[in-house]
Amino acid sequence: EPEVTQTPSHQVTQMGQEVILRCVPISNHLYFYWYRQILGQKVEFLVSFYNNEISEKSEIFDDQFSVERPDGSNFTLKIRSTKLEDSAMYFCASSGPTTGTYEQYFGPGTRLTVT
Amino acid sequence: AQKITQTQPGMFVQEKEAVTLDCTYDTSDPSYGLFWYKQPSSGEMIFLIYQGSYDQQNATEGRYSLNFQKARKSANLVISASQLGDSAMYFCAMRDGGYSTLTFGKGTMLLVSP
């Protein structure tokens, strides 16, 4: 069964460093998302991506964040200068292949720890 | 105002019994969708079931069913014949306003005992 994959599973970085989180969505999906979950809290939307551009973003997704689909399979989230409060589980999700298919399938997550 | 409310921080159930996890939602958009996800201790988010606002029948997927009461704005998840592997955090989520992003509730921790 197709699934969303994410790498790495765990990333430890120092405050101020740049990190790139990688995702491979389900191959025929057209909509891609990033969410985050701070430990013990609910899942929060960051950004959605469709047709090679951002379609929606939340207040959390400020100038320190960016997303990219560098090739036909990968979808990345970059945090330019990490802060302690960026420590969280980051989930990539995808949906599609046609409009009206709303189920979002999540990857296993990347746990980001900023020290 | 919260869009998704899950009032049960924790629920306990015995193996083989049924359990209902509550979820109420708030939206003024006539077109919306409701989702349930399971998050085991390993951390991944597992899609369980989806209900669209225009669906005539309640959604079912194996042992999971969604008790959708539109007038009460509730979308409770019913798990029949609970298994030990059902112990996990369960999140209710909604898509509305013509957007595809999900808004999640705070979750309910379900513990299934032998």
Chain A residues closer than 8 Å to B104 by CB: 42-44
Q: Bigger pLDDT: A101 or B10?
A: B10
**With an 8 Å Cβ cutoff, is B35 touching chain A?**
yes
Which of A66, A53, A73, A103 shows the shortest CA–CA distance to A6? A73
pLDDT at A9: 95
**∠ at Cα A30 (B98, A100), nearest 5°?**
40
Interface test with B, best of A3, A5, A29, A42 (most B CBs within 10 A): A42
Chain B residues closer than 8 Å to A48 by CB: 99-101
Cβ within 8 Å, pair A103-B47: yes
pLDDT at A98: 58
- Average the pLDDT over A39-58 and give the result: 92
Residue of B45, B103, B106 lying closest to A91 (CB–CB): B45
Q: How far apart are CA A73 and CA A26, in angstroms?
A: 9
Q: Would you say residue A101 has pLDDT above 60?
A: no
Residue environment code for B63-84, b if the CB has 16+ CB neighbours within 10 A, otherwise e: ebbbbbeeeeebbbbbbeebee
**∠ at Cα A43 (A37, A45), nearest 5°?**
100
Residue B86's SS3 state is helix
Per-residue confidence band for A73, with pLDDT thresholds at 50, 70 and 90: confident
| Percentage with pLDDT > 90 across chain A | 74
**With an 8 Å Cβ cutoff, is B100 touching chain A?**
yes
Residue A86's SS3 state is helix
CA A66 to chain centre: 10
Q: How far apart are CA A29 and CA A98, in angstroms?
A: 8
- Tokens 């704005």 belong to B73
Structure tokens at B43: 């951390």
Residues B5-58: tens digit of each pLDDT? 999 999 999 999 999 999 999 998 888 999 999 999 988 899 999 999 999 899
Q: Bigger pLDDT: A105 or B16?
A: B16
Give, in order, the Cα–Cα distances in Å from A15 to each of A82, A110, B51.
5, 17, 41
**With an 8 Å Cβ cutoff, is B88 touching chain A?**
no
